Structure 1
Amino acid sequence: MPTPALLDAAATAALLPYDRLADAIEALLADASVQVPARLVQPLPGGGSLFVMPALDACVAITKLITYTPANVGGPRPTIQGDVVVFDVANGERRLVLDGPTVTARRTAAVSLVAARHLAPAGVQGPLLIVGAGAQGRSHLEAFAHGLGVRDVRVASRSAASVEALVAHARHLGLRAEAVRDADAAMAECPLVVTCTPAAGVVLRATPRPDQFIAAVGAFTPKMVELSPDLCRHIANHGRVIVDTRDAEHEAGDLLQAGLEVVGFADLRQVLRDGGATRRGPVLFKSCGWAGWDLAAARCAMRG
């Protein structure tokens, strides 16, 4: 039996270019053979969680096995650690073992990119405001630069060192980039916004611009939050709220804490199926995560 390829972060990233990964996500949402059982989230002593996330289609089955450890924020160890194991459905062989944090970062940013393709103002290329300068901030910076042509970036974070590192990375990519202290004030200049913080408290409160597209990815449990209730309710009343999947109905802390009926919001599959709708007001795309996105990454990686 052949030994499966055990890929590190760099090798995993090389198989998941953002534009191709975004295309794989759109293809997965149109594939009737895809099955995604409910994920297991097991609380761990000390405040962490163990995630077991299976998914499959007619050819490939995967399980993402990761730990999420909020206590690691700001330390030498990442908050997300683990692997994505990829199996051949026909013969049961284990084909790939992908680096879990890399898959998580890149597929989350690619999902936001898909949403922006269909929901952000046509042709907009920034400025992009990124609130949260960790792994997700970096992946969203890269995805929006490569996939939307963003050339101008503003970065806000509670960690000055993280902001400096992400601004430096943006400039290395040839982008105009600057640190901002007041994320709410920066919203007035940025039609594109991404929030990707540890979601321990509200980071955006300002009333959004009528043409604003906000991708909020940090909060993925009912108790987590990045956006103020007033901001969420404003967009629900004056624009559109889209969720990544129906799982957001019990996971989207930002929306649930705002008292919104999440069941009434369209998901990304509906947006792609219906071809979008005439834009009216700001758009909030609330992403909570789904093993289907990891399956899309595995399918993309299998194609090489």
Structure 2
Amino acid sequence: MVSFHAREVAERLDYSSLIDALEEGFRGDINIPSRHHHVLPAVGKRDATMLLMPAWNSNFVGLKTVVVEPENTKRGLPAVQANYQLMDRETGKLLAYIDGAELTARRTASASALASRYLSRPDARCLAMVGTGVLAPHLIRAHATQRTIDEVVIWGRDIDKAQQVVEKMMGSAYTVRAEAVLEKAVGSADIISCATLTTVPLIAGNWITPGQHLDLVGAFTPEMREVDDKVISVAEVYIDTEDVKHSVGEIKDPLECGIIGEEHILGTLADLAAGRVDRPRSSSSAVTLFKSAGTALEDLIAASLVYSRA
């Protein structure tokens, strides 16, 4: 059995290779049972969440254990804490123990970038990053592998934290700046990537302009959402898996309220990867939206790639 710490995971999971591996994975045959979702109640603060995410294929069995603790931001710790176990499919032998936080960050960002490969305009140049957590630099770098990004605008509730992300990104091939007004950040962008833990929509539909692509990463429970109903109703919507329709507020709520119908969800990331959608973006002026909540398929593909490069 081998262990891969965060630095070793990062060295083995460059975004371009992982994006291509995920594309192949979404076309393949991987068993993904429903993930276990447990609320860890807290008194006087937001509840934490524990997720158990299994998956297997003909070669490997994988299991990720995740705890999402919103209060960690006040402690100077990442909100997402995770570990991953990779096992041999035939024997069940434990092959590798992998840092789950780095694995999750890179596979999440790479899945978003894969969706952008199909959905964002090929001439997209400006990326707005909404959120200043651990995922922000990963999402920026992954998106930049798919489009010729020349400007990145970062917004966070705390402008100082947004500036800290700017400093982390110094030396990139694109200009990076912090923006204090969210509406301005959104309005200037071709691609809007959101990675927050908000339960109240941050982005309003009347801010959206023709041709934009929205990448929504943060929400993963029925109570969470990053955009309002109007954003969902005007966009051509794609999701990472069918589970999102019932498990994430920004899709679940408008479906249940009749604001959109099932036909408004045009496909999954597997549909896009397999070429089952003829025209993922109907026109250059269309607004496209990809909502992900994460899937164990992505973890297994990423973990397999780490292990194969040992």
How high is the TM-score relative to the length of structure 1? Answer: 0.92
Separation in 2 of the partners of 1:207 and 1:276? Answer: 29
The CA RMSD over aligned residues, in Å, is 1.6
Separation in 1 of the partners of 2:278 and 2:2? Answer: 39
Q: Please list the CA deviations of residues 173-227 of structure 1 after superposition, one character each: whole Å capped at 9, or x if unmatched.
A: 2420111122222222211110111123221114322110100011111110110
Separation in 1 of the partners of 2:295 and 2:106? Answer: 13
Describe the SS at the equivalent of 1:181.
coil
Structure 2 residue 80 is the aligned partner of structure 1 residue 80: yes
Structure 2 residue 294 is the aligned partner of structure 1 residue 298: no
How high is the TM-score relative to the length of structure 2? Answer: 0.90
Q: Which moved more, 1:139-148 or 1:60-69?
A: 139-148
Separation in 2 of the partners of 1:41 and 1:262? Answer: 26
Match of 1:45 in 2: 41
Q: CA deviation at 1:276?
A: 4.4
Match of 2:126 in 1: 127
Cα pair 2:4 2:99 within 8 Å, conserved: yes
1:119-158 maps to which residues of 2 (within 5 A)? 119-124=119-124, 126-158=125-157
Structure 2 residue 285 is the aligned partner of structure 1 residue 286: no
Q: CA deviation at 1:262?
A: 6.6
1:1-304 maps to which residues of 2 (within 5 A)? 4-32=1-29, 34-46=30-42, 47-124=47-124, 126-205=125-204, 206-235=206-235, 240-258=236-254, 259=257, 260-261=259-260, 263-264=262-263, 265=265, 266-273=267-274, 274=276, 276-277=278-279, 278-280=281-283, 281-304=286-309
Separation in 2 of the partners of 1:209 and 1:53? Answer: 36
- Which consecutive unaligned segments of at least 5 residues does structure 2 have? none
- Which consecutive unaligned segments of at least 5 residues does structure 1 have? none
Q: CA deviation at 1:275?
A: 5.2
Separation in 2 of the partners of 1:262 and 1:96? Answer: 43
Q: Please list the CA deviations of residues 16-49 of structure 1 after superposition, one character each: whole Å capped at 9, or x if unmatched.
A: 11111111111111112x1001111121132112
% identity of equivalent residues: 25
Separation in 2 of the partners of 1:297 and 1:287? Answer: 16
Separation in 2 of the partners of 1:19 and 1:117? Answer: 11
Describe the SS at the equivalent of 1:201.
coil
Cα pair 1:109 1:136 within 8 Å, conserved: yes
Separation in 2 of the partners of 1:20 and 1:295? Answer: 15
Cα 1:262–1:48, aligned 2, differ >3 Å: closer, same or farther?
farther
Separation in 1 of the partners of 2:278 and 2:195? Answer: 25
Residue type matched to 1:154 in 2? V
Matched positions, count: 295
Q: Please list the CA deviations of residues 107-144 of structure 1 after superposition, one character each: whole Å capped at 9, or x if unmatched.
A: 111010000001111242x2100000111112101112
Cα pair 2:233 2:260 within 8 Å, conserved: no
Separation in 1 of the partners of 2:56 and 2:212? Answer: 35
Q: Please list the CA deviations of residues 249-272 of structure 1 after superposition, one character each: whole Å capped at 9, or x if unmatched.
A: 112211223345574311111122
